[in-house]
Structure 1
Amino acid sequence: MGIIYISLNFCVCSALISMSCCSESLDTHKILQTLETQQYAISQLTKKVHQLEGKLQSKMDETSEQLRECSRNKRLLLENPYEGALKVGFTAKLSNHMLNLGNNQAILFDYIVTNIGHHYSPNTGVFTAPINATYYFSASIMSHYNEVLETEIVKNGVREVLMYSHDNAHEQGSNSVVLQLNIGDEVWVRHTSTVGTKVYGNGWSTFSGFKISDD
């Protein structure tokens, strides 16, 4: 009986040791899986950090360039403020015909003759005032053969002056206006209502403007 009891105890102990080892093995596997998951998460976060660092550096470089540009402009204005303030003016012409104009559609004078300061956009046909000042604008618009055409110079979408052309041949309508503008005000030429649908290009239709004096 004693031998049997000892044998049973030995078997039980062996079983307990085996279970303990299995448990430790499972725990170690779980720990390794957790570590692998955390390492992957850390690597992904590291990539994102590097990406953000790159974007931040790019933004810092852009800001530094803008600050240098502002510093240069400030220095130029301090050295000769009157000469710097004069550099606003443009002339642009329509290189191709514009057909099937819609109501209040802007006329895009796409060919730049002069654009001092680059405040006129050939992509939109709009001049944007860089400073508060008094400006002069003029436009000459040619209609197609034996067709009527009405256009206008507008400030921030509000009509200032009209142009009209109609004859048995090609005809030009011209007008000009002096405007006091605040920084950011916009001036452009557009078709009016439904009077005519075609603008003659080939350099015959033009839009010009320049600053007369500071306010």
Structure 2
Amino acid sequence: MKALVCILLLLETFVFVVQQQVDGGLNENEISQQISSEDGRQNPPQTDTLRAEADRQQYCDLGIPDIHAALRELTATVTEQKGNIRELTTTVTEQKENIRALETQLRDEMNKKNEEISNLTLSQVELRKENRDREIAFSAGLMESGAGNIGPFTTHITLTYRKVFTNIGNAYNPITGVFTAPLKGAYMFRFSVTGVGPTTISASIYKNGEHVVIANDYQTQGGLNSSNGVVLILEVGDVVYVTLGAGRGVTDNHNNHNTFSGYLLFPLR
């Protein structure tokens, strides 16, 4: 701004000198003489003009250092701003790297979680299958319908409990009356027998042809009732069934007094 003022002042001085010439104050010879004179003799208009030029020149000279200082200050400010921009650029770059690192970490964690979920899903499927394999239970009544007596016979027979209430896992066969273990484990079995005196009632649980437990009752008249139960460790393919003793009989009707039941307590390795 000060430089512009200086230029305007110089232009004004030039116009003032030209105006003096136009007004007839000086001719060419006089101007030459004034320029060549070194003794300091000048007419009043020239002295005023030169003094004005000197003052304006001094003003301009005084203004120039201010412009230089302003330029130096502006340069310093620009340099400082450049430094700030470089620091900001560095910070932005670092933040971008941090974001990329976080994205990578998040992606890895998501992949890990998806893998865990997938494995968990497979485990759940296997567990469901294993649980289905462990779902073994049955319960059946002796007579499918009606009422009547069974026995006595001259030899012991396998009782076939034909009225199936439950047969989860289909390990019990209502045609043969035999339970076949589909899984190694501990199994609970119970059975009940009912009859009318004076006939003796007697039935037993057998495992693979070997006698395990018995339930019997006897009295001269009236109803006869007995029951028993046992926990057996069975291997895959072992069979369990109930036999009616020789010379013994049972009585049943729609109330299902004679039953045979069993279920898996827990599997074994």
- Provide the TM-score with structure 2 as the length reference: 0.49
Q: How far apart are the structure 1 equivalents of 2:124 and 2:217?
A: 45
Q: 1:75 to 1:106 in 2, by over 3 A?
A: farther
Higher relative contact order (CA closer than 8 Å, sequence separation 6+): 1
- Is 1:166 aligned to residue 222 of structure 2? no
Query: Is the 1:110–1:125 Cα contact (8 Å) retained in structure 2?
Result: yes
SS of the aligned residue for 1:183 comes to coil
In 2, the alpha carbon distance for the partners of 1:77 and 1:180 equals 27
Q: Distance in 1 between matches of 2:202 and 2:240?
A: 17
Give distance in 1, aligned partners of 2:142 and 2:222.
19
Residue 199 (str. 1) matches residue 250 (str. 2): yes
Q: Is the 8 A contact 1:150 1:195 kept in 2?
A: no
1:184 CA displacement: 0.6
What is aligned with 1:175? 228
**2:213 and 2:247 mapped to 1: Cα distance?**
15
Match in the other structure for 1:89: 137
Q: Give SS of 2:158's match.
A: coil
**Pick from 238, 249, 259: which aligns with 1:185?**
238
Q: How does 1:27-38 map to 2 (within 5 A)?
A: none
| TM-score using structure 1 length | 0.60
CA spacing shift, 1:133–1:77, aligned 2, 3 Å: farther
Q: Deviations over 1:135-164 (max 9, x none)?
A: 000000112332112210000110000111
Aligned with 1:147 (options 188, 196, 199):
199
State the percentage of identical aligned residues.
29
Q: In the TM superposition, what is the alpha-carbon distance from 1:107 to its structure 2 partner?
A: 0.8
Deviation, 1:199, is: 1.4
Report if the CA contact (8 A) 2:133-2:169 is conserved: no
Any stretches of 5+ residues in structure 1 without a counterpart? 1-73
| Deviation string, structure 1 residues 104-162 (Cα, Å, up to 9, x no partner) | 20011110011111111111110000011110000001123321122100001100001
Contact 1:76 1:84 in 2 (8 A): no
- Which amino acid counterpart does residue 251 of structure 2 have in structure 1? Y
Q: What does the per-residue CA deviation read over 1:33-86, in whole Å, with 9 as the maximum and x for residues that have no partner?
A: xxxxxxxxxxxxxxxxxxxxxxxxxxxxxxxxxxxxxxxxx9986152452233
* Pairs within 5 Å for 1:1-215: 78-95=126-143, 96=147, 97-167=149-219, 168-192=221-245, 194-196=246-248, 198-202=249-253, 203-215=256-268
List, as ranges, runs of 4+ consecutive aligned residues in structure 1 with deviation greater than 3 Å.
Answer: 74-77
- Which has the larger share of helix? 2
Change (3 A) 1:190 1:80: same
Q: What secondary structure, in the 3-state scheme, does the structure 2 residue paired with 1:78 have?
A: helix
User: Using the alignment, how far apart are the partners of 1:89 and 1:176 within structure 2?
Assistant: 15
* Larger Rg, first or second structure (1 or 2): 2
- Alignment RMSD, CA only? 2.1
Instruction: State the aligned residue count.
Output: 140
